[in-house]
Chain A
């Protein structure tokens, strides 16, 4: 069965410092993995996705994530946080089925301090 665990429910960084949001997954096959962002009172927006091509995936707004099979991790990083990055972030793994069903992590709230 597939599952995903976001290791931190809340991360706080100062503006201009690096961001690291941690995600571990469990999958019985080679998964597709995603990061989504949700700003307050908004829907979810796709940041980036991994689908068995390059293990380092670049997304929008300067975010990137690295797929590490040996560690079953897919951590999200950004070199320098911006105030507008403050939001909820979800790590997501696909389920092997024709419906394309996704399983969402619990979410990590990113706070960016001036």
Chain B
């Protein structure tokens, strides 16, 4: 365990479904991140939250909707996804500038 917990570990969903990914950390970190990792592509930063406020949205389609109710929890709500959205979704947290990230184990998402 890294201190960042992601659930579920695996998710298969149809294109018309609505599902949510959950990320939780109790490391006292102030920043939380969502990354998408597709096969043969570099990690793509999706969203950044700092002290519960969204500070970055990297032109992510609106079918991905993040939510950060407090500094310990981060969600990614999914609806009407496309097959190309199938990927490993990684959550990370950090104490701030110059510090590394602590990653969760990821959610392997398959859209059918």
A interface residues (Cβ-Cβ under 8 A, vs B): 32, 34, 36, 41-46, 49, 51, 90, 92, 94, 96-102, 104-107
Stretch at the interface among B14-22, B40-48, B65-73: B40-48
Counting chain A CB atoms within 10 Å of each CB, the highest count among B31, B45, B95, B103 belongs to B103
In whole angstroms, what is the CA distance A46 to B103 when docked? 9
B45/A100 in contact, CB under 8 A: no
In the assembled complex, how far is the CB of residue A90 from the closest CB belonging to chain B, in whole angstroms? 7
In the assembled complex, how far is the CB of residue B74 from the closest CB belonging to chain A, in whole angstroms? 14
| Additional pairs, 8, CB under 8 Å, beyond known A101-B45, A101-B56, A104-B43 | A34-B100, A36-B100, A43-B90, A46-B101, A51-B98, A99-B56, A100-B95, A102-B94
Q: Inside 8 A of A100's CB, which chain B residues have their CB? A: 31, 94-99, 101
B interface residues (Cβ-Cβ under 8 A, vs A): 2, 4, 6, 31, 42-43, 45, 48, 50, 55-56, 88, 90, 92, 94-106, 108
Count, A-B residue pairs, CB within 8 A: 65
6 A-B pairs with least C-beta separation: A43-B103, A43-B105, A44-B103, A32-B98, A100-B94, A104-B43
In whole angstroms, what is the CA distance A67 to B87 when docked? 33
Q: Inside 8 A of B56's CB, which chain A residues have their CB? A: 99, 101
